[in-house]
């Protein structure tokens, strides 16, 4: 059985009070809390083993390099990439996406070309493409979604044609929770020779991701959203693509030979890793992945589904509460509004009850525009949350409605 | 009442509320007393945009003093706006531009008015003072 | 007095053995060890206070945002910038330089323009400009250095003319230890309207840096080289410059409003901070700066000067030992070779004696080319190192010479 | 001697050295016994580049067996190169391509031959096996 109480004891930050109330942390979509094993790993590295990687031949540097490269292997295995060459460490999803928008953009996008994204993207998967489109005089096209917050597949078919250079899509929407049918979409795209980048920031923490099975060309995610430290992220890319792309940032580690006349670049994956790596965070993230695997991805997904169903049922029963995002396939996110009450008011009052929820646009302003609202209140739940916490949210919302009537 | 006295009055009013919910209830009440902002001022020109809620602020000179009216789409924010107006409106430009708004901290609303809190209230106070500064400069010149 | 033993007890990683020998850590130029206060800060944040910054209105998020912005103020004060708007958090020196090479490059560098760097740059301050030069068909020019490893000032005068768009220079050389007369150089550059970027990665840990006094236009450094965590760095830029530059990466936090038609960017400094910030590392770095200030920048510089003089004297006495870099103004770095012995052999043998030194090109290959060598052995010393440790290095090298005769 | 036996012999030889310095002294000694590589092979074509030291490797078929000669600009690396040649040279392509070089680990030189150690030795072993693989494929065809 899934022993939530035991799991909760692994997360020291869960055991605290805010305003004298026990913390209910429902802001996991923004960042997750960290299990003790991750925190301890950082502490051990900085207290004992710290030393810069790759170029050193002394003991500490060699050991640290090994650990760093082990972390890369760990990530490879976690998403089932073919080889470690396909695993680039970045400092987050945003940096991973910008790496591709810049390098792929530089190499393959020309004036008049189209770039396809969806209507439910996070700003990190919109703005890099807007910047690229502007620089290259390319055209940004948007796949619409329906009222449930699902991609309109027929529209996708219409929009997809040979003039599209790349399709960038979130695997899971952070604002609505929608799990997109990415495998099917990738297949359609590949039939038209369109490579696909998946923004996996919200998908990786919630279930099994197999990049070979999905057959995506690029996949991006962040350590801090998958129980790992900040300042680390992953860019997966198919080797044949990464080989074709120019490097992005210049600096140490990404070069083979440097002279003022001619510089040659390092092999994959280092070609895309300029400057001192955040190896402590990479190793910390690998520990987080171990932690997830030990719990079991399927068990996590099943438990989180339970939470989602429970929360959906419970909150729907509240008079005047409207849930945004009713996709058939969803992660444990409930985005909602109480009729006549601003999301900010809701957030501020819940906060004082010890309930940490995110309010606003969730960095997905076009989603709000689509629904004609200025924001939502979002409860994003993960495996250390409980039904009792959902009950507290329910009670809090009932109280809140009375306050604002 | 001086600026200081009004603030102390507000602090006294809030003193009886031990609980955040009571404070918020009082702010909700206050929000209802805020005179409605003429809809012609609910335009982007008068908008102070934060990340979450919107505040519209209008200021006019009335002889030597400045009168503010304002509005917000969020209710608690509107309550705080009401307090700010109660403290600041109807005073001289000079008084406003140098105002030390200590009551905010004392009634526990510091978070709402800190610059790191990405909302319109901090910008609103700034904007109130900017108006005052502008009028003050004008007075000095003439 | 400077109590080194007390200081050493603040750095847990100093207290360890490698191969049964007490560790002598002379690889500080690559990365510094961390004082306990930095390690504890990370641990406390992740154990208690962690929450994503900026957009949240719940307790934890508000507190974390405050701490993050406090860290920014701390950095501003440390380098005496005019305002916090001028302090951009990046993930390291390399990223800071690439931010400018990309945005300044995009905006101001045209075909045929010249970019000026020096002969003693780290790859991180060469390759970004090469990439830019290639993309824009601009020309990279190099200020030579003399045999002591100093900028040849007369050549600088010759090279500097109106066709130069930017001068990018290290404040201190990581391969040779040279402290460049940057204030004078900046003055000369400004007389010709040439903005100057300083790579301060090696300067910040060793003494006082006042960006207003220097009047540099941009300044870059890394947290991990100044006793802070990995994955955080700083880009200082004069407000008037940063206002003029387009954003670099697109994503969350760096936008004001996003729609598919039109996106407006956030104010400084957030305009340049796309994606979730590494706030734990920023706060950790601020603690490191506090630690440095508590020790006293002048006291640190004086003590490190003592170490440098002692090491230079001691090592020079070794038969066949040649030091590279004899600038009049140097930080505590001694880069050397033993005649007839490859730097790799030296590094490997010293390692087994517990001495951690860096060997190779130190990511400054052109410096090696300049001296006609394939690399050096580098002892980079900081305030927690001691003369006794230098003695150990001396004895190690004597033994080594006997082995290889 | 089989590939296994040579390796065991080397392990025995190193067993008497308790201290790293002694091991290194022995490797320095070994480096001096390595036959000189003909300077015509010290070109970029035969160069295996790591980050720190250089290794030049030349292989030729001698009937059914492969003979390696090599050189390095660093002495300890050269000593290890001498060991690798002692183990691998003069054997059939088939034997080399499948060789399990357990002695490296056992005599404590794993670091020097790990891929994360940015030097030429790891690439050298890879290159030795690649030669063998190429010759083996050729033999199979003919
Ligand atoms: C002078 C100099 N510049 C730039 C860098 C690059 O710093 P980082 O790897 O932290 O980005 C270094 C560090 O190796 C350096 O010494
Ligand atoms: C779907 C999605 N994409 C991208 C991001 C950006 O991730 P990061 O801020 O870690 O770069 C987020 C997180 O906010 C997200 O939810």
Among the ranges given (A315-324, B105-114, C8-17), the one the predictor scored with the smallest mean pLDDT: B105-114
For residue C54, what pLDDT is reported?
A: 81
Task: Judge if the beta carbon of residue C102 lies within 6 A of ligand 1.
Answer: no
**Does C55 score more than 80 pLDDT?**
no
Q: A250 phi and psi, to 5 degrees?
A: -100, 150
For residue C72, what pLDDT is reported?
A: 98
In CATH, the number for domain A39-293 is 3.40.640.10
pLDDT digits (tens, 9 = 90+) for B45-85: 999 876 688 999 999 999 889 999 999 999 999 999 999 99
Ordered strands of the C333-338 beta sheet: C321-324, C333-338, C376-380, C358-360
B141 band by pLDDT with thresholds 50, 70 and 90: confident
**Does C302 score more than 90 pLDDT?**
yes
Residue among B51, B62, B100, B115 flagged as catalytic: B51
Q: Where are the alpha helices (DSSP H) in chain D?
A: 3-15, 20-33, 75-88, 93-97, 103-106, 120-141
Residue minimizing CA distance to atom 7 of ligand 2: A93
Burial class of residue C278, CB neighbours in 10 A (0-12, 13-18, 19+): buried
Contacts of A282 (CB under 8 A, 6+ apart): A68, A71, A72, A89, A223, A232
For B46, the domain range is: 3-141
Chain B neighbors (3+ CB pairs < 8 Å): A, C
| Averaged pLDDT for residues A53-74 | 93
Please report, for residues B141, C80, C83, the alpha-carbon distance to residue C213 in angstroms, rounded to integers and kept in the order given.
36, 9, 14
E strand or H helix at A168, and its extent? strand A164-170
Q: Which one has a higher pLDDT value, D119 or A333?
A: A333
E strand or H helix at A117, and its extent? strand A114-118
**Does A1 score more than 90 pLDDT?**
no
Task: Judge if the beta carbon of residue A92 lies within 6 A of ligand 2.
Answer: yes
Alpha-carbon gap, residue B108 to C315, rounded angstroms: 63
Alpha-carbon gap, residue B69 to B66, rounded angstroms: 10
**Does A136 score more than 80 pLDDT?**
yes
* Share above pLDDT 90 across residues of chain A, in percent, rounded to a whole number: 97
For residue B122, what pLDDT is reported?
A: 85
pLDDT digits (tens, 9 = 90+) for D74-123: 999 999 999 999 999 999 999 999 999 999 999 988 888 877 776 678 88
Residue minimizing CA distance to atom 16 of ligand 2: A174
pLDDT digits (tens, 9 = 90+) for A268-313: 999 999 999 999 999 999 999 999 999 999 999 999 999 999 999 9
E strand or H helix at C290, and its extent? helix C279-295
State whether residue A137 is helix, strand or coil.
coil
For tokens 């190169």, the residue is D81
Collect all residues of chain A within an 8 Å Cβ-Cβ radius of residue B81: none
Complete DSSP assignment for A247-311: PSS-STTSEEEE-SS-EEEPPTTGGG--SS--HHHHHHHHHHHHHHHHH-HHHHHHHHHHHHHHH
Give the single-character DSSP code of D38: P
Task: Give the ligand at the shortest distance from the Cα of A204.
Answer: 2
Task: Judge if the beta carbon of residue C380 lies within 6 A of ligand 1.
Answer: no
Q: What is the domain-level CATH number for residue D22?
A: 3.90.1010.10
pLDDT digits (tens, 9 = 90+) for B2-36: 999 999 999 999 999 989 999 999 999 999 989 88
Tally of domains in chain D: 1
Do C57 and B115 make contact, defined as CB atoms within 8 angstroms? no
Find the C30 Cα to ligand 1 centroid distance in Å. Answer: 8
For residue D50, what pLDDT is reported?
A: 66
C172 band by pLDDT with thresholds 50, 70 and 90: very high
Q: Where are the alpha helices (DSSP H) in A164-215?
A: 182-191, 211-214
For residue B88, what pLDDT is reported?
A: 96
**Does B139 score more than 90 pLDDT?**
no
| Averaged pLDDT for residues C261-284 | 96
pLDDT digits (tens, 9 = 90+) for B78-119: 999 999 999 999 999 999 999 999 999 999 888 888 777 766
Domain map of chain A by residue range?
4-30+296-404, 39-293
Alpha-carbon gap, residue C51 to A26, rounded angstroms: 11
Do D52 and A57 make contact, defined as CB atoms within 8 angstroms? yes
pLDDT digits (tens, 9 = 90+) for C240-250: 999 999 999 99
Q: Are strands A255-258 and A263-265 parallel, antiparallel or unpaired?
A: antiparallel
| Averaged pLDDT for residues C104-126 | 98
Alpha-carbon gap, residue C57 to A351, rounded angstroms: 8
- In angstroms, how far is CA D20 from the centroid of its own chain? 20
Contact A162, A193 (CB under 8 A): yes
**Residues β-bridged to residue B66:** B61, B91
Contacts of A141 (CB under 8 A, 6+ apart): A114, A115, A116, A117, A159, A164
Q: How many CB pairs under 8 A join A and B?
A: 43
**Domain A4-30+296-404, what fold?**
3.90.1150
């Amino acid at each position: 059985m899934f022993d939530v109480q035991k799991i909760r004891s692994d997360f020291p930050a869960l055991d605290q009070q805010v305003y004298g109330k026990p913390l209910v942390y429902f802001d996991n979509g923004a960042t997750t809390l960290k299990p003790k094993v991750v925190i301890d790993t950082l502490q051990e590295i900085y207290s004992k083993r710290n030393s810069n990687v790759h170029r050193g031949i002394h003991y500490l540097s060699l050991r640290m390099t090994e650990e760093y490269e082990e972390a890369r292997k760990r990530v490879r295995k976690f998403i089932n990439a073919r080889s470690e060459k396909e695993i680039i460490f970045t400092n987050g999803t945003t940096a991973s996406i910008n790496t591709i928008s810049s390098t792929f953009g530089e190499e393959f996008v020309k004036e008049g070309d189209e770039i396809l994204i969806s209507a439910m993207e996070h700003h990190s998967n919109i703005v890099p493409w807007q910047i690229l489109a502007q620089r290259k005089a390319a055209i940004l096209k948007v796949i619409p979604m329906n009222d449930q917050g699902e991609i309109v597949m027929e529209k996708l078919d219409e929009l997809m044609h040979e003039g599209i250079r790349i399709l960038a899509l979130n695997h899971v929407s952070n604002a609505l929770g929608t799990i997109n049918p990415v495998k099917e979409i990738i297949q359609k795209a590949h039939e038209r020779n369109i490579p696909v980048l998946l923004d996996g920031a919200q998908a990786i923490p919630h279930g099994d991701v197999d990049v070979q099975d999905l057959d995506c060309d690029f996949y991006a995610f962040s350590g801090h959203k998958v129980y790992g430290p900040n300042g680390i992220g992953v860019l997966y890319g198919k080797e044949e693509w990464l080989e074709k792309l120019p490097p992005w940032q210049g600096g140490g580690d990404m070069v083979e030979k440097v002279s003022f006349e001619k510089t040659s670049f390092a092999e994959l994956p280092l070609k895309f890793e300029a400057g001192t790596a955040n190896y402590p965070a990479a190793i910390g993230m690998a520990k987080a992945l171990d932690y997830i695997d030990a719990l079991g991805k399927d068990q996590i997904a099943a438990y989180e589904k339970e939470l989602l169903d429970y929360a959906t049922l419970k909150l729907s029963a509240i008079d005047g509460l409207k849930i945004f995002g009713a996709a058939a396939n969803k992660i444990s996110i409930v985005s909602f509004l109480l009729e006549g009450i601003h999301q900010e008011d809701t957030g501020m009052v819940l906060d004082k009850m010890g309930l940490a929820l995110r309010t606003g646009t969730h960095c997905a302003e076009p989603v709000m525009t689509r629904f004609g609202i200025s924001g939502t209140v979002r409860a994003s739940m993960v495996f250390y949350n409980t039904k009792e916490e959902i009950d507290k949210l329910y009670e809090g919302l009932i109280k809140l409605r009375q306050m604002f009537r | 009442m001086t600026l200081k006295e009004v603030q102390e009055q507000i602090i006294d009013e809030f003193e009886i509320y031990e609980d955040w919910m009571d404070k918020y209830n009082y702010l909700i009440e206050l929000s209802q007393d805020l005179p409605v902002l003429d809809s012609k001022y609910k335009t982007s020109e008068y908008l102070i945009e934060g990340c979450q809620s919107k505040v519209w602020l209008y200021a006019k000179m009335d002889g030597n003093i400045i009168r503010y009216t304002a509005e917000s789409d969020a209710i608690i924010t509107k309550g705080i706006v009401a307090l700010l107006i109660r403290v600041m409106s109807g005073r001289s430009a000079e008084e406003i531009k140098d105002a030390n708004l200590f009551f905010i901290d004392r009634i526990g609303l510091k978070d709402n008015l800190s610059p790191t809190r990405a909302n319109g209230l901090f910008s609103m106070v700034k904007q109130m003072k900017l108006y005052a500064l502008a009028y003050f400069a004008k007075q000095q010149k003439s």
